[in-house]
Chain A
């Protein structure tokens, strides 16, 4: 009798422990942010200044916007390697359009629209060609970069529009660059999309169990295409705003995004296997990458060493989040 009564309790406390562990793991990135702030605060006088935080916000924003859509792709169990190339191509197209037609801040819509089309291309080839997304976006990464470099002719092209510039580096809220404000608003909107809409639910479900979703009648192929359109469109906004912030579109625009976007998503706690995490966690991942970049710079650590350190952090993040994934698949 007593064993009968005990059995459910024992399993419940086991489950409780597992969920506690999961919660602890998901809080880990926040701990890392605090640790980085303390360490860099102690090692550099310039780090803990309002001025520097404004700078970090500006630097992190392009990355954050570009990562928002890509987070949906990763949580869906796929991958989008073309983010950086979309940023480059849409940045170039925005500046060239702006120089041809004086549309001012409207240039960001060029990036948004073109990005969406590029995402649609990715999505169609992926969903109908039944080619792994890794291969599709590896190919389009090269195609989009090639197109962009042709457009730019390998040079940086400047623009002349105060309105477009204000969109990125103006400060409607003091000390907060507009690009950062836009990034945070977009992040909040997409968190709602991920958590509260049918789209968010289906994308997550596809990542957690694609064949279950398919048998349950979820139009898997259509939602895969939607997700890629979203990823492209957001990378497009990021491309326009990045060009606006730098006052020009140059050949190196978005070149660090391949590593940084996937790094930020994974460090935030979204599993590359899909079905774990989501865009809500990506903010923290972006923050960690941005703090690392900024703090290491302030400490005078050279570019190459920085690359190495970032790589170590990404691998460590996956190692830490891995047990969670294996628990899930074993059960």
Chain B
């Protein structure tokens, strides 16, 4: 379907008339038969015409916006009639409005602008710039000094007859200016005068140096103007004014003049923009002042130091502050805010690289705006608009989810983009202007802010108004007014050579490298925080390993006499305290013998127990014929010992026997012993006594010298084992604590980040990241313009009797309720107003059973549940 390149070439030749006659005839023939070809021809004709038009328009625009030369002179009075809008921080326009006379036309004809002045476009000052109050500012290097001096306001000066006679004496303010460095003077009423260096000359036009005394009188209020007898007329026609300022420089008492090549900026705060303003010169005569020769302005933009501009979304700093302490920071600082902000980036190297690749390989084909709408990096509510129109408009019973926002994330400008543009390379572009700062703050509120930002970034070599216009087309209705006001500003550009492609390449490079940094930091932090955890884990595994070897060792030391082919009883680590054998089962060969003895006749049973159970306790019974002791199998602290039938001869050996109990644990070492005659007793109760190792040794020696050595040895092993087990327990506990601590921190950080992300987020789509609370897919309802829902809910077998369904919004407020299980909900609440986009729950219940389903309403328009600190407008659905 796609026409081939060759075809374009052919058609181009045809349209431009560069085919030979024969070729043209042939082509005409082809054309007659092919609709597609006809379309192509039409397309190219129009395209070429459009290209020409576009270029022509640009020329017209350029030609009508350049400034001319000002002229120097000496006048002092300048009427600045202008008003500034503070709404979005518009720029200062400084012209006098030709007032409300009926003969506007004539006035215009009279005063055709001879040449326009390049005026400074300075924003309403804010606390961030470093102006001084009051009289001096010689030492203060002003905000804009040295940067954009070339675009300053040139004061139109005329001959000065300083014989204006005021009704009350002038309130003259004195300032000192050092010609070497210039200065920023701030008048009492808020006038800002920025004087560049080398701004004064003598009457011959030669630069002078030294300290200049600047005399300034402000007349911004009507009262002042009346008092000073400053009328606002131009040849008998009334002007409406915004203020007047008088400036006269002196050197050592002598009047000097303003240097026409180093103009001075003037800035006066006002309330409302009237773009028709012009600058007029004042001429005084006979004690009165008359204004004439108005000039229109051209608005150049002033470069401001990037450090002084605030590119971070409004209110973000306060959000961070509210979340402190964080990672040890208890106080807010701009570095902290910046680094937190940058770390919230949601892009990753693959997306950025992908974008860069796209740009490189498709450098001519792909433009910035398509790259930036790369859906894996950022999603905009707009881009994911569901245009599907469902025929049904009800919540039906059906399991199919329809629209699911696929791995959607947040929509906001990538913080790393912001970081990338706050670099030196962009210092000389219109990025570094108050005007851009204003626009950027608006962009932060757009769901497709990134896209809009990159429009500006790809048109740095053109007037800002070009980008304003392009942006206008991309924004939602609610923002159009703002962007229209931007367009109205007809903002131009800074006066610097802009190399767009270099800047674009630089921008991408920077983002990549910042991202790498962010990722490195994340990895490092991850490593550090889990380092302790890893330590503990390795310690634990060493311990457990040694534990198992200990077990083997412990068994190896048991008295196994002539154990041919019989392995010691196997016991799991957990069963260590019954490490004995069962009386009958496995066995050492000697016990076998004994067992035979038992089989003769009726063996005698004796129950041995201790008065109280102790941890890790064992009861041993001495088997006299074998001259050994064996542990008994215990159940509930009791063990059964068997002895041969009394009639057996061996029973005499057994008449004097003993049993003992041992317990070694964190409680200590306990011992109990009892000598008894099994034929006289069948219940033995042992009493514990606390003992130490040496005493134990003695006791055991006393009982039977032959056994104690191995018993002690095994006791020692036992001790070691217990100690080890204890250590392991401790370590496990430590590990657990550490894990919990890390988890807590992680949760805190995640909460911190997600709160901030939510603050920045401009789309109503919730994040489904790995940290998401509900990893399940959330269903989406998309009531589009026709209020058609696309959410089908299967309720399964439910009884319609006693059915209720409640739909609540994210704040828990019930927005809808019904008892009809086949209900259709039009996503409006009780008052019939449409429920805004967001997360909702539907709880339905019948006969005591209830179930809750979470879903999400996603509207095309910007209806949103307003998060606390933001303004949001409830909007109508779009056409």
Are A and B bound to each other?
no
A interface vs B, CB < 8 Å?
none
B interface vs A, CB < 8 Å?
none
